[in-house]
Chains A and B, each alone.
Chain A
Amino acid sequence: MLKKVTVFGLFFALVPSVAWSEWQLNMNRGVTDTSASVYDLHMLVLYICIAISVVVFGVMFWSIFHHRKSKGFEAHQFHDSTSLEILWTVVPTIILVIILFPATTSLINSYDSEDSDIDIQVTGYQWKWRYKYIGEDLDYFSVHTTPADEIRNKATKNENYLLEVDRPLVLPINKKIRFLFTSNDVIHAWWVPAFALKKDAIPGFINEDWTRINEVGIYRGQCAELCGKDHGFMPIVVKAVTEEDYAIWLKQQKMLKQQEALASKQSWSKEQLMAKGEEIYNKNCAACHQPNGMGMAPVFPALKGSAVALGPIETHLDIIFNGKPGTAMSGYGEQLSSVEVAAVLTYERNAWGNDVGDMLSPADVDKLKGGK
């Protein structure tokens, strides 16, 4: 142990990265009653394990130290003892039973997701989360926003590196929130350590879990089930606010939605669409199709020179809007607004040397949407 401490101390002195970090050793207590009970259980078992190790290793090292041939110790031949063997079967059994009581209680508690105040459907996508406030007509995607330059070490990493999203999940404190987890493609797992809540999001199935947050704050987590290439880049951010703030926020969101609808009625120039399209593309599409439109053969096709991007506008729109079932290309009709779809489509047709020259206006997207 002493050795480890000095070794760590040495790194502490040498490594320039100390400014970033915390040498955190243990779990946090979290901000829900569940997380507190999980933490207590964790500490209980941890202490029991440490106690067991002290006894077991104590006997062992005492023996290693004293019963050695170099000290002239003669072996005592004994190789059976029924009473000892009964003892070390019974004692561990008792310890286990002691642990199992609080564990069972805690488990019962975590299964009680009845009587919730707010229901939220969480859907995993490769590689983003979608939050749907059931009964509120509010539904949006939450995409990671850590700049590529930071990931590629071309810019200094910010404090929330890899743990930042464009639109966090906003929740009120002191309310029972029930989550319904599912997935659009592969299995993901939604995990916020501060809530001690981790649940798999499984395509075609719905999993339930719940939480009740006790403190206002911003809580960050990550996808916990390997879900493909960008598994490490689909963070979760939850903003817990007071009930009043939550009501205000809900209202704002609804207003924003109306404004968006209005924006699609405006007329957009091709330049405007291209600029917006580039932004949307880099945020939503570049992970697979790459910023230069070259894709990653053979799974993610290039859009530069692609027959779809250069072909009829309807086919192109259809694939962006509805995706291609059974592949990683999911439909963006629900995630992106009409303006954004129009922009990204126009961008793909006219960027990286693609030169179809045409464009699609948001109003046209609306029209086609209505036609469906």
Chain B
Amino acid sequence: MSTQATDMVHDEHDDHGPAKGIGRWLFSTNHKDIGTMYLVFSLVMLFIGGSMAFVVRAELFQPGLQLVEPEFFNQMITMHGLIMVFGAVMPAFVGLANWMLPMMIGAPDMALPRLNNLSFWLLPFAFTMMIGTLFMDGGGPNFGWTFYAPLSTTYAPPSVTFFIFAIHMMGASSIMGAINVIVTIMNMRAPGMTYFKMPMFCWTWLITAFLLIAVMPVLAGVVTMMLMDIHFGTAFFDAGGGGDPVLFQHVFWFFGHPEVYIMILPSFGVVSHVIPAFSRKKLFGYNSMVYAIIAIAILSFVVWAHHMFTVGMPFAGELFFMYTTMLIAIPTGVKIFNWISTMFRGSMTFETPMLYSIGFVILFTIGGLSGIMLALAPVDMVYQDTYFVVAHFHYVLVPGAIFGIFAAVYFWLPKWTGKMYDEGLAKLHFWVSFIGLNLTFFPMHFVGLAGMPRRIPDYPLQFADFNMVVSLGAFLFGASQLIFVYVLIKTLRSGEKAEQLPWDGAEGLEWTLPTPAPYHSFPTPPKVD
């Protein structure tokens, strides 16, 4: 896709610049401001969720109960999961979408700016309420981020009602964000930009948005059923009243499995920009990449019960979900092979975004391979609910989602701020993160295979040494994120001026904009041919 450089000096738009003071943020309808708010919010949540993981790892540093009670430990693992999924990863992706989609498709802004404002401003309230439950009588949610009934209904602390309400608000926010993305992409592409000329990030987000619209209502449904069971005498999940606790799991994972793709697809998009840029080559197999994403998205609706191999499904069910899950490996493999082929015989350099993308490909592949192992129902009887699973999903989520986000931030930061980040420090951030991450999550495979169940505040002695290594790795990984914050601050305060095209291999409409990107992206659509 070649683009015509557009002259972006629009004097008549000067009076449309940002409003002054707090009003700029509270009432903002500007995609960049809202994107920034999403990203900052998600960074704050990353640190809150991370400090909860810190509590968990500190308690598990040695066998025995040292720091927290089991009751509080359960609240920490629950909150850690909920905050990372709904507070850190998802808002970060929406933030990136806000910043990049209009710039990539040649639009002035998102299609529905007021909805955009509302969908962001729901989040601080939702999370204040959710975190607030920790201070309520009986403590916060303590039933794991998967909140299986009846532990989360009949046996839940009273604060569960607030948790349900918070989930409803997050869901509403996600659905609005998704509608906005779909409307923007479908209607506001620059003339000449057909679907199959669209940048990969737009493709991945388009599919993600459809997934969100499909499954967030299911999540809303399942928490509403909980609410009814708790307060209004229904018995959806109570066998005593004719219900079924396993129904909860089916509904939850019907949301939950597409959800994990929601947390990875936009990263696929980011990496598909970064790797070609630093290989100075076009993305290999653009079309097959698009088809692979669509295939993954469709398959994600028919694999949910692989999270439930031990609930006692009929044989045919078990077989069906094992086979469909294995199928997902094929389009996923296509993507990985395409990225590697893009690198192959390129002219590579290794700036921080590229390091994060390569880290992404390697570690995500490891997580994908352990996923194939987990897909095998008979062996999953052993893996299920052990640290092997914890290792698996952290390998796909941390390098998958988080590394993808870091790659995106370092890649586009010069365009956003007009300033260059400190490459040396950023590389340090990458290497410390990379080592910390592997030290944290790799040994979890071992303790899991040796038989350590997940979600326990204390463990038998045979797991002691690896747990200590894991905890040390986790502290290192956590600390390395402070470097990230420092790099950001340093860039904003004293970063060198960035060029219009800071990466010589990068392509796309966003790079045709001046640096820093103007407040309104493309008041007149550029032409794409």
Task: Judge whether A202 is part of the interface by a CB distance below 8 angstroms.
Answer: yes
In chain B, positions 426-465 with a C-beta closer than 8 Å to chain A are 438-439, 442, 446, 449-451, 453-465
A17 to B239, CA, bound (A): 46
CB distance from B475 to the nearest CB of A (A): 14
Indicate whether A159 reaches chain B with its CB closer than 8 angstroms: yes
214-234 of chain A: CB within 8 A of chain B: 220-233
Does A313 touch B at the CB level, under 8 Å?
A: no
A358 to B244, CA, bound (A): 44
- CB-CB nearest in chain A for B388: A27
Q: Is B19 an interface residue, CB under 8 A from the partner?
A: no
Task: Confirm or deny: B250 has a beta carbon within 8 angstroms of a beta carbon on chain A.
Answer: no
A63 touches B150 (CB 8 A): no
Does A241 have its Cβ within 8 Å of any Cβ on chain B? Answer: no
Judge if A262 is at the interface, Cβ distance under 8 Å.
Answer: no
The answer to whether residues A45 and B345 also contact, given A88-B333, A107-B315 and a CB cut-off of 8 A, is no
Assess whether B155 is interfacial by the CB under 8 Å rule: yes
Does B228 have its Cβ within 8 Å of any Cβ on chain A?
no
A-chain residues with CB within 8 Å of residue B350 when the two chains form the complex:
68
Asked if A8 and B337 make an inter-chain contact with CB atoms under 8 angstroms apart, the answer reads: no
Secondary structure call for the A interface:
mixed
Contacts A67-B345, A103-B377, A207-B312; A60 near B361 (Cβ below 8 A) = yes
Contacting pair B379 A157 (CB below 8 A): no
* Contact assessment for B469 and A11 in the assembled complex, using a CB-CB cutoff below 8 Å: yes
Partner of A56, one of B157, B336, B438: B336
Cβ of B385 to closest chain A Cβ, rounded Å: 4
In angstroms, how far is the closest chain B Cβ from the Cβ of A186? 4
Complexed CA–CA distance, A204 and B237 (Å): 10
| A202 contacts B246, C-beta separation under 8 Å | yes
A191 touches B334 (CB 8 A): no
| Given known A161-B460, A200-B310, contact A107–B378 (CB-CB < 8 A) | yes
- Nearest CB to that of A223 among chain B residues? B453
* Nearest CB of B to A210, in Å: 12
How extensive is the interface on chain A, given as a class? Answer: 35 or more
B340-383 vs A, CB cutoff 8 Å, 1 = contact: the mask equals: 11111111111000000010011001100110110011110110
Kindly identify, within residues 281 to 329 of chain A, every residue whose CB is under 8 Å from any CB belonging to chain B. 296-299, 326-328
| B438 contact set on A, CB distance < 8 A | 4
B138: A residues at CB distance < 8 A = 297-299
B293-322 residues at the A interface, CB under 8 angstroms: 310-312, 315, 318-319, 322
Contacting pair B343 A185 (CB below 8 A): no
Given contacts A202-B311, A222-B456, contact A18 B465 (CB under 8 A): yes
Does chain A have a CB within 8 A of B213? no
* Cβ–Cβ contact B280 & A69, under 8 A: yes
A106: interface (CB < 8 Å):
yes
What distance in Å separates the Cβ of B70 from its nearest Cβ neighbour in chain A? 5
Shortest distance between the CB of A70 and any CB in chain B (Å): 7
CA distance A17 to B376 in the complex (A): 35
A185 to B204, CA, bound (A): 43
Contact: B382 with A38, CB < 8 Å? Answer: yes
B64 at the interface (CB under 8 A from A): yes
| CB-based contact A107/B463 at 8 Å | no
Residues from chain B with Cβ under 8 Å of A108 in the complex: 315
The answer, yes or no, to whether A79 is at the interface (CB within 8 Å) is: yes
Give the residues in chain A near B468, CB-CB below 8 Å: 11, 15, 17
Q: For the complex, what is the distance from the CA of A199 to the CA of B151, rounded to whole Å?
A: 17
Pick out which of these stretches binds chain A: B35-43, B187-195, B323-331, B479-487.
B323-331
Residues of chain A from 90 to 109 with CB closer than 8 A to chain B in the complex: 92-93, 96, 99-100, 103-104, 106-108
B379 CB contact (under 8 Å) in A38, A75, A159, A220: A38
Is residue B494 contacting chain A, with contact meaning CB distance below 8 A?
A: no
B502 within 8 A of A: no
The segment out of A145-153, A242-250, A335-343, A346-354 that lies at the interface is A145-153
Q: Which of A46-54, A133-141, A364-372 contacts B (4 or more CB under 8 A)?
A: A46-54
Question: Is A267 an interface position by the 8 A CB rule?
Answer: no
Query: Shortest beta-carbon distance, A78 to chain B, in Å?
Result: 8
Q: List, in ascending order, chain B residues with CB within 8 A of A57's CB.
A: 362, 365
Q: Are A92 and B329 in contact (CB-based, < 8 A)? A: yes
Question: Is B245 at the interface (CB under 8 A from chain A)?
Answer: yes
- Bound complex: CA of A217 vs CA of B343, how far in Å? 54
B26 in the interface (beta carbon within 8 A): no
What chain B residues lie within 8 Å of A181 (beta carbons)?
A: 312
CA–CA, A226 to B143, complex, Å?
Answer: 7
CB neighbors of B among A7-49 (8 A)? 7-8, 11-12, 15, 17-18, 20-28, 37-38, 41-42, 45-46, 49
- CB-CB < 8 A to A27: which residues of B? 382, 449-450
- Tell whether A2 is near chain B: CB-to-CB under 8 Å: no
Task: Let me know if A204 and B240 touch, CB within 8 A.
Answer: yes
Q: Is A76 an interface residue (CB 8 A)?
A: yes
Minimum CB distance partner of A42 in chain B = B379
Are A63 and B340 closer than 8 Å at their CB atoms? yes
Residues of B within 8 A of A204 (CB): 238-240, 244-245
- Determine the distance from Cα of A28 to Cα of B330 in the docked complex, in whole angstroms: 30
Indicate whether A169 reaches chain B with its CB closer than 8 angstroms.
Answer: no
Measured CA separation A227–B154 after assembly (Å): 12
Whether the Cβ atoms of A46 and B373 lie closer than 8 Å is: yes
A sample of 15 more A-B contacts (CB under 8 A), given A186-B148, A299-B157, is A17-B468, A23-B446, A41-B378, A67-B345, A68-B350, A73-B348, A80-B284, A88-B334, A103-B378, A107-B319, A198-B310, A198-B385, A228-B74, A229-B142, A296-B71
Can you list 16 pairs linking A and B with CB atoms under 8 Å apart?
A: A23-B465, A63-B345, A69-B347, A81-B284, A88-B333, A103-B378, A157-B63, A157-B64, A189-B385, A199-B381, A202-B312, A203-B240, A224-B453, A226-B148, A231-B456, A298-B137
